[in-house]
Structure 1
Amino acid sequence: MLALTRKKGESLVINNNIVVTILEVRGDQVKVGITAPKEVPIYREEVYVQIKEENKASVDVQGITALQNLIERKTVK
């Protein structure tokens, strides 16, 4: 992990096309602005984790359904 110190109004650039700017610092909270191409998804970590878990659950259900269908086809023959 790269750790950087930035002040209000200062930025950092990622991959030549993403700019992260510190907008405000208030106590232990930092307001961050992110400028990135539309095709770059940006999520808060807790939302990203939730999306990953829901996607995994969906894939697991689809996989179980596909396996059940395969088993049913073999037993019918």
Structure 2
Amino acid sequence: MLVLSRKKNESIMIGDTIEIKVIAVEGDTVRIGIEAPRNVEVYRKEIYEAIQEENRLATQHQTDWAKMKEVLRKTQPGDDQ
């Protein structure tokens, strides 16, 4: 992990397109601003982790479309079943 010290209004560049700027320091809270291209997703870590968990859960509950099609076919009006 790279650890850098910055003061209010100082920045850190990530590559050529992402700038992280210290906006304010109030007690133990640091406010930062992030300038990044629109195609770069920026999330708070707890939100990012929640999204990852939701994606993981979604992949575990994939629908068996062949089975669903068979069930629907059997329940069509006019079926003798």
Give the TM-score, by structure 2 length: 0.78
Please tell me the residue identity of whatever aligns with 2:58: S
Q: Match of 1:50?
A: 50
Q: Secondary structure at the match of 1:51?
A: helix
Please tell me the residue identity of whatever aligns with 1:51: I
Gaps of 5+ in 2: 71-81
Q: Match of 2:25?
A: 25
Q: Secondary structure at the match of 1:52?
A: helix
Q: Secondary structure at the match of 2:61?
A: helix
Return the index of the structure with the highest Cα Rg: 2
Please tell me the residue identity of whatever aligns with 2:15: N
| Identity over aligned pairs, percent | 45
Q: Secondary structure at the match of 1:37?
A: coil
Q: For this pair of structures, how many residues does the alignment match? A: 68
Please tell me the residue identity of whatever aligns with 1:27: G
Gaps of 5+ in 1: 73-77
Greater share of helix: 1
Cα RMSD for the two superposed structures: 1.7
Q: Match of 1:5?
A: 5
Q: Match of 2:15?
A: 15
Please tell me the residue identity of whatever aligns with 2:48: Y
Q: Using the alignment, how far apart are the partners of 2:3 and 2:60 within structure 1?
A: 37
- The 4+ residue runs of structure 1 with deviation greater than 3 A are none
Per-residue CA shift, 1:25-58, capped at 9, x if unaligned?
0011000000000000000000000000000000
Q: Match of 2:38?
A: 38
